[in-house]
Amino acid sequence: MGRKPHADIRLARIPELSGSGLTHFTKAENPVSRHAHDSLVLGTVDSGVREITVADAAIHAGPGAVFVIPPGTVHSVSHPEGPCTGFALHCHPADLNELLGEVPPMVTLAVQDHLLRSRLKDVAEAVAKELPALEQHGRLAEALARLQDRHGEAAALPERRPHSGAEKAKALMVKRFAEPLRLADLAEAAGMNPCALGRAFSASMGMPPHEFLTFVRVRNARRLLDSGAGVADTAAACGFSDQSHMHRAFKAVLGMTPGQYAEACAET
């Protein structure tokens, strides 16, 4: 059997914004388990197919397609036709408000929009060449304007119905993510039995409690790695049992290892 191609994932920040940036993926093939982003994700595929699954609906983004994932949308990613290459632009809500005046209502979608794709390529080029921030922001604003004008009228997906017990369990995990929490701890905080909480949490959040806790730990680990913290210290600070545990979680949620993420951060 031949060796699988090496996946290369690179990160780049857009200067003077609240957290927006680009993720380039080359020969990406590993699946990414259910997770959500705080930012709007807007990307394009150069080769291969990127399959985005929301609830039970699978959305296929093939070569030349632009894909959109709204903030907070629980989704998973796979590559059913082998290695996939492209990039994704992550737009922080604060930056969307600054550039557009709002966070545009969107649904998860994949479309063939050649002008939007061209404008996204312009953004990627400006970031890669480290053009002045004003030009990077201007190109980003043009891409977002096209997105809003052409695809922003789609009604947002119905929000999941909030559940008070699930919200209490969520708040506990967000606050005490570094601790070895048990389902019984979450159930006690929610005032429910563990089985009922598991069902209510999945229905409300789109993923079971253990997946949400992993997502929260990875999110906090990314922030520490962004600031220059070491992998071992980050694993200990974010509730992972060891570096191997954090390695598996990063691969599942981000499709890359903590070392790859830290290296990419150091290069930006």
The answer, yes or no, to whether residue 24 has pLDDT greater than 60, is: yes
Q: Domains in the chain, start-ordered, CATH in brackets? A: 8-151 (2.60.120.280), 164-267 (1.10.10.60)
CA–CA dist 37, 253 (Å, integer): 11
Look at the pTM and tell me if it is higher than 0.85: no
CB 35 within 8 A of CB 19: no
Mean pLDDT of 232-250: 93
CA–CA dist 25, 12 (Å, integer): 12
Q: What is the pLDDT of residues 48-94, one digit of tens each?
A: 999 999 988 899 999 999 999 999 899 999 999 999 999 999 999 99
Q: What is the largest CA-CA distance in the chain?
A: 56
217, two tokens: 């730990």
Q: What pLDDT is attached to residue 6?
A: 52
Mean pLDDT of 147-174: 78
Q: Which of 70, 106, 110, 103 is nearest to 86 (CA)?
A: 110
With b for 16 or more beta-carbon neighbours within 10 A and e for fewer, the 117-154 pattern comes to bebbebbbebbeeeeeeeebbebbbbbbbbbbeebbee
CA–CA dist 31, 25 (Å, integer): 13
Q: What pLDDT is attached to residue 4?
A: 47
- By percentage, how much of the chain surpasses pLDDT 70? 93
Nearby residues of 118 by Cβ (< 8 Å), 6 or more positions away: none
